[in-house]
């Protein structure tokens, strides 16, 4: 499990995955969208490919990169038990915000 986390620790790689979530993209398009150099983009793509997070297919002179969701599903499964911790906090926040909104509505009704 440490490999995907190590790979995803780099913000540029997360941005690449965000872009690939929309659709497959070429190296040139990713380079342009990320404002990186072509060698820098290629380096990040190689790391993502070696971690199994993206696949590449050749079409003539172009290489198209696509997101592989399976490794991300593994990360999601690993995180599932921790969501209980967040859910309780988010539920408490929601209840607090709802009570604040109710108080404001009551004050508006009085005036």
| Residue with more model confidence, 33 or 107 | 33
Lowest mean pLDDT, pick from 32-41, 43-52, 69-78? 69-78
What does the pLDDT look like over 9-24, one tens digit per residue?
A: 999 999 999 999 999 9
Asked whether the beta carbons of 44 and 16 are under 8 A apart, the reply is: yes
Same domain, 74 and 62: no
Distance from C-alpha of 95 to C-alpha of 73, rounded to nearest angstrom: 31
With 0-12 / 13-18 / 19 or more C-beta atoms within 10 angstroms meaning exposed / middle / buried, residue 52 is middle
Is the pTM higher than 0.85? The answer reads no
Same domain, 9 and 59: yes
Q: The domain containing residue 99 runs over which residues?
A: 70-111
């Amino acid at each position: 499990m440490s490999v995907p986390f190590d790979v995803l620790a780099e913000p540029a790689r997360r941005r690449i995955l965000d872009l690939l979530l929309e659709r497959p993209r070429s190296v040139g398009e990713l380079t342009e969208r990320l404002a990186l150099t072509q060698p820098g983009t290629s380096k990040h793509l190689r790391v993502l490919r070696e971690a199994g997070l993206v696949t590449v297919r050749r079409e003539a002179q172009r290489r198209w990169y696509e997101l592989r969701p399976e490794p991300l599903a593994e990360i999601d499964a690993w995180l599932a038990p921790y969501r209980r911790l967040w859910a309780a906090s988010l539920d408490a926040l929601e209840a607090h915000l709802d009570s604040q909104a109710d108080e404001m509505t009551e004050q508006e009704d009085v005036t």
